[in-house]
Amino acid sequence: MNREIIKLSKISKKFFLNKKKISVLKSVDLKINKGELVSLNGPSGSGKSTLLHIIALLDQPTSGEVFFDRKNISRSSDAEKDKVRKKGISIVYQQNNLLTDFTALENVMMPLLNTGVSLQESLTKAKKTLSSVNLSSRIDHFPNELSGGEQQRVAVARAIITEPKLILADEPTGSLDRKTAGEIFSLFLKLKSQNRAILYATHNRDLSSKADYKLNILDGNIIKE
Ligand SMILES: Nc1ncnc2c1ncn2[C@@H]1O[C@H](COP(=O)(O)OP(=O)(O)OP(=O)(O)O)[C@@H](O)[C@H]1O
Ligand SMILES: [Mg+2]
């Protein structure tokens, strides 16, 4: 059985700024299977967020191809990519971009409502998901009434509520204490047991070593450890 969920083939990414070229990813080949928990490592500026955004179909590679669930989506339209993303991929951003005018509960409900789930069902599930990140007592807070770590946990809840096949997390525990980081990690383990794939960027060695395997970005290439 083919368990592949994401495949990158010869992905390169260059940025052009003020006539200067920055070659961030050179010719990256990568395959991640369902049920795999994978950490993404590399120094600041090495291209972790860039890679996650390409896998999330939010950014276009300069060259190369992206396959999701064995379908080549490199040349799909934005609308088709949106559809694939909505159904299958969630991302926890490095700067959690919660909607500031909405409460924690509303932020978490939003992705479900967007896929056509009823208000009542979205509400019930959002409460349950917020409880799984230990935020039951903060559901009516707006983002600016939450601590950094609490905001991060809301962002994680928002990413997992739709039960996507692939969860991408960019430093999801960056501002969390050890215990809370451990709790987020347990959620990842639970998702893994449900056959979902998780790719998370981190600077935390402890957390990185708990993955099934590590990916390191070095000079624009990916090395599997
Ligand atoms: N839109 C852009 N235009 C020009 N350069 C960019 C752009 N986005 C990112 N870069 C550059 O690409 C490189 C990789 O950035 P990226 O955000 O992927 O790094 P990172 O590995 O996630 O770093 P960190 O650990 O600090 O989050 C950096 O040198 C950055 O300055
Ligand atoms: Mg980054």
Q: Give me the domains of the chain, ranges plus CATH numbers.
A: 35-60+79-224 (3.40.50.300)
- Lowest pLDDT segment from 6-10, 23-27, 84-88, 138-142: 84-88
**Local confidence band at 129 (pLDDT 50, 70, 90 cut-offs):** very high
Tens digit of each residue's pLDDT (9 = 90 or more) over 84-98: 998 899 999 887 789
Give the model's confidence band at 118: pLDDT under 50 very low, under 70 low, under 90 confident, else very high: very high
Higher pLDDT, 205 or 212: 212
The whole-number pLDDT of residue 19 equals 87
Q: What's the maximum distance between 2 C-alpha atoms anywhere in the chain? A: 52
Tens-digit pLDDT profile for residues 174-193: 878 888 888 888 889 989 99
CA 47 to ligand 1 centroid distance, Å: 6
Q: Could you say which ligand is closest to the alpha carbon of residue 203?
A: 1
Measured by CA distance, the residue closest to atom 3 of ligand 1 is: 15
* Distance between Cα 45 and ligand 1 center (Å): 5
pLDDT for 36 beyond 90: yes
Please tell me the residue having the least CA distance from ligand 1 atom 28: 45
Q: What is the mean pLDDT of residues 101-105?
A: 97
Ligand nearest to the CA of 25: 1
Distance in Å, CA 72 to ligand 1 centroid: 26
pLDDT digits (tens, 9 = 90+) for 5-22: 999 999 999 999 888 999
pTM for the predicted model, two decimal places: 0.93
